[in-house]
Amino acid sequence: MKLIYKITFAMAAVASLSSCENLEQDPYDKILTKNAFKTPDDAQYWRDGFYNTLRDNYTYLEKRTDIQSDLLNATINFENREGFFQAWSILSDHGSIASVWQSRYKLLADINLSIEKFPTIATTTAAEQAQINQYLGEAYALRAYTYLQLVQRFSPQYTDANKDTPDLGLPLVTTFDIKALPARATLAQTFDLIYSDIAQAKTLLTSKVGVQGATTFTIDAVRALEARAALTKGDHPRAYQAATAVIATGKYPLVSTAAALDAIWRTDAKGESIVQLFTSANEATPNFGLYQYLRRATGKYTPDFIPSQWVVDLYQGNDIRKNVYLKTFPTAFKTGNFTTALVNKYPIGSYGSANSYVHAAKIFRVAELYLIAAEAAYKTGQETQAQDYLNRLRRARITGVTDITATGATLFEEIKTERIRELAFEGFRLDDLKRWGDPVRRHDPQGGTNYIIIEPASQFYLLNKPADDPMFVWPIPLNDTDINKNIKQNPGY
């Protein structure tokens, strides 16, 4: 863990002063922070830095989990970009794994320092104190959000049987200490910290009301985070309560026209958005261009990955998502020109040609909460409520749809299928399969084998991984296990 802390906002200041050593210089492990937390404006600077880091690293986890899942096939154009994930050949020394782990622990280092220092900032008015409390609440929310992302990817699924097993959770770091070499906690301890941070955030952000398209955490965003965390843990009563509480505010109505849904994705319209990060041509989220890659000279698209035919077939003609989330384009591959359905959730947007596929990172959308409510209700034996939340989402998305009346296992399959339709290509699929204990089985590729990678078939279009395959969980980066011998590696790596 030592290297994780080597680059923070505070340490950047130290590096710039390295040629000015004097007898009054702080020790390297104390960091020059005594002048970094003096005013509420300083706190805002650090808080804005959290969101900058979050935005700068968005998509790297989200696209890789979907590429690893059953949703997409690598085309013959892909030249092994993100190939480790598509082929399930992940190793602990891959930089793509390290970038996800280390960027989030870097963010945690800055958050931990801020949680320690924000309360020490002197204020002169009630408004200034409220501002500090708000930033502190956001720091707790972001720490919970970051640890949730890490436990979803680097730990096995939480169960009553394994929750207290040592070394299955995360190294939990809550204070700024560059010399700390913590071991992995249990899963129970990891989720206890996430829940504790959510509780702190709810207290501190009570008065920060939610609005559509908020660019920072609000009280509604914290409840949405709570719902997601509880569903991940299998705490279904809590997931249901948190999800329905946000829905019940009525602030985030589901859109029901293709134009309104398209605007959410094409131009980052605020409808349905609980939190989406500020984005501009100069402050841009890494993009999802690999799903399209328009060649302007020819007017043809050359994607690295395309959705499987079975995914395309999930959307019927009366589903407003059909031509918003997916769209048919002229495509060019080494084997010829075709017409292919491509991922269209991240179309050429409105931030200029240099960032053509850049879009605001949509951290929480209300549609996810309808699906959480439906799944959590089903899991707690409330099938009528599960049908209700599922059908409310379907009515908004599918013109003239017939309500789902199924019960039992059939109802659960309907919930799963609707979750694919709504959340496809947003980074949920692999974690959903892991949570459900389902395998990853690729099948029915679009276009047959005309323009996808087919060899070796078992690693690409015919990949079939059982639910207990070790690579459902990513490895702790080799660099970190080498430096911190207290961290136990995940099985299979």
Is the confidence at residue 11, as pLDDT, over 60? Answer: no
* Whether pLDDT at 34 is above 90: no
For residues 439-461, average pLDDT: 97
* Total number of domains constituting the chain: 1
Please tell me the predicted confidence (pLDDT) of residue 355.
Answer: 65
312, part of any domain: no
Residue 394 belongs to what domain range?
A: 37-79+90-278+362-450+468-483
Q: What is the mean pLDDT of residues 233-247?
A: 98
103-123 mean pLDDT:
96
Q: What CATH code is carried by the domain that includes residue 99?
A: 1.25.40.390
Residue 136 within a domain:
yes
In a domain, 132, yes or no: yes
Q: Please report which confidence band the pLDDT of residue 296 belongs to, taking 50, 70 and 90 as the band edges.
A: confident
**214-250 as b/e: b if 16+ CB within 10 A:** bbbbbbbbbbbbbbbbbbbbbbbebbbbbbbbbbeee
Residue 302 domain-assigned (yes or no): no
Q: Model confidence over 371-397: pLDDT tens digits?
A: 999 999 999 999 999 999 999 999 999
Per-residue pLDDT at 255: 98
Which of 76, 77, 94 is CA-nearest to residue 85? 94
Tokens representing 157 are 């699924």
Is there a contact between 159 and 177 (Cβ–Cβ < 8 Å)? no
Asked if residue 177 belongs to a domain, the reply is: yes
Q: For residue 353, is it within any domain? A: no
Confidence of residue 284 (pLDDT cuts 50, 70, 90): confident
Indicate if the alpha-carbon torsion angle 348, 352, 356, 357 is positive or negative: negative
Q: Quick check: is 264 in a domain?
A: yes
Distances (CA, A) of 325 to 319, 338, 412: 10, 20, 23
pTM of the predicted model as reported, rounded to 2 decimal places: 0.93
Residue 15 has pLDDT above 50, yes or no: no
| pLDDT at residue 65, rounded to an integer | 98
32 part of a folded domain: no
pLDDT in tens, 164-220: 999 999 999 999 888 889 999 999 999 999 999 999 999 999 999 999 999 999 999
